[in-house]
Amino acid sequence: MNRSVTILIILLVFHAGFNRLNGQSFAELNSDIRGTIYKSLEVNSKVLNNKLEYSIYLPPYYHTTADSFPVLYLLHGYHGDETSWIDRCDIHIIIDSLIKIEEIPPLIVVMPDAKNSYYINDYLLQFPYEDLFIREFIPYIDSTYKTFPHSRYRIIAGLSMGGFGAIIHSIKHTDVFGSCIALSAAVRTDEMIINMKSEDYDNKFSRLYGRDLEGNERINEHWENNSPFYLINDSTSDKLKSINWYFDCGMNDFLINSNELLHQIFLKYSIPHEYHVRIGTHNWEYWRTGIIGGIKFAGQKLSKL
């Protein structure tokens, strides 16, 4: 194995549970330090010709300092929205607690709504989410909030569909993000999409990649332009080494095989990354613990800047 590649495979159960960290409950850790959460704010999008909703966490002392902060873009899963990480995971409490014990520096957390777009442009450009996110939304956040507007200080993370979004944006925009955290990433191989039942394909992917497609017809140019299995190659691998990569997927997750294949591609091209496999499946119980490790990983990278 190439020594430049960092692989960490963990098979364990979090015996302490989600509600405790280092022997203390999140409530205890959070008693005297707290950020501010704003849910379902709106911004007008010229790209979408519509409003985009997002939630945002501002760290403790944000309003009383002139300092700027790193930004974590936290992406929801399929059928989720800008409130999912707050309502289902209490992400604001987790961030407060990690800041208090100095596992991470104070940072801003931005949670945009993406509908079921998979965070990419659809093939007809009727809902060009990638263009919105990269060209419009991130500049809006940098101009509105006290951020460090540099890739080194931007983290992108997500679960399932959001994990796919985090990976695809990091691959396609290596100059925008410094760290990528993908939990149970909804990456799919050609075989998975070719063999998908027509009903499932039509419901989830036809508006993204093409309607009325069967079998090999689904592996078209738009699919290839948005698949990490096509985008990672000899010409792109060097740029991808500039990003801090963190993958985590449950042993019993229906996406474990495709996550394993992605891990193998990173090994093939000697792209440094952490790859975690733990006991668990595709649910919030798994993601509540997984996001802690991912954010701590990104916090360690920020502390070295």
Euclidean distance between CA atoms 77 and 91, whole angstroms: 15
Say what the pLDDT of residue 305 is.
85
pLDDT per position as a tens digit, 226-261: 999 999 999 999 999 999 999 999 999 999 999 999
Is 171 inside a domain boundary?
yes
Is 7 inside a domain boundary?
no
Q: Over 80: is that where the pLDDT of 24 sits? A: no
Euclidean distance between CA atoms 241 and 235, whole angstroms: 12
The proportion of the chain whose per-residue pLDDT surpasses 90, expressed as a percent, equals 88
Euclidean distance between CA atoms 259 and 83, whole angstroms: 26
DSSP string, the chain: --TT----------TT-TTEETTEEHHHHTSS---EEEEEEEEEETTTTEEEEEEEEE-TTGGG----B-EEEEE--TT--TTHHHHHH-HHHHHHHHHHTTSS---EEEEE--TTSTTS--TTSSS-HHHIIIIIIHHHHHHHS-B--SGGGEEEEEETHHHHHHHHHHHH-TTT-SEEEEES-----HHHHHSS-HHHHHHHTHHHH-SS--GGGGS-HHHHTT-HHHH-STTTHHHHTTSEEEEEEETT-TTHHHHHHHHHHHHHTT--EEEEEES--SSHHHHHHHHHHHHHHHHHHHHT-
Say what the pLDDT of residue 304 is.
87
Is 234 inside a domain boundary?
yes
Kindly indicate the confidence band of residue 31, based on its pLDDT and cuts at 50, 70 and 90: low
Q: Global pTM?
A: 0.91
Q: Over 80: is that where the pLDDT of 276 sits? A: yes
pLDDT per position as a tens digit, 171-188: 999 999 999 999 999 999
> In total, how many domains does the chain have?
1
Domain CATH for 176: 3.40.50.1820
Is 201 inside a domain boundary?
no
Handedness of CA 271, 12, 84, 89 (dihedral sign): negative
Is 192 inside a domain boundary?
no
- What value does the mean pLDDT take over residues 84-111? 97
Q: Over 50: is that where the pLDDT of 12 sits? A: no
Is 215 inside a domain boundary?
no
Q: Over 50: is that where the pLDDT of 4 sits? A: no
Is 194 inside a domain boundary?
no
Is 76 inside a domain boundary?
yes
Say what the pLDDT of residue 16 is.
34
Mean per-residue pLDDT of the chain: 92
153 touches 305 (CB < 8 A): yes
Euclidean distance between CA atoms 65 and 69, whole angstroms: 11
Say what the pLDDT of residue 53 is.
98
pLDDT per position as a tens digit, 196-233: 999 999 999 999 999 999 999 999 999 999 999 999 99
Nearest to 151 by CA among 227, 239, 246: 239
* Bridge pairing between strands 108-112 and 273-278: unpaired
152 touches 243 (CB < 8 A): no
Domain enclosing residue 165, as ranges: 20-187+227-303
Kindly indicate the confidence band of residue 277, based on its pLDDT and cuts at 50, 70 and 90: very high
Q: Over 80: is that where the pLDDT of 125 sits? A: yes
Kindly indicate the confidence band of residue 15, based on its pLDDT and cuts at 50, 70 and 90: very low
pLDDT per position as a tens digit, 62-95: 999 999 999 999 999 999 999 999 999 999 999 9
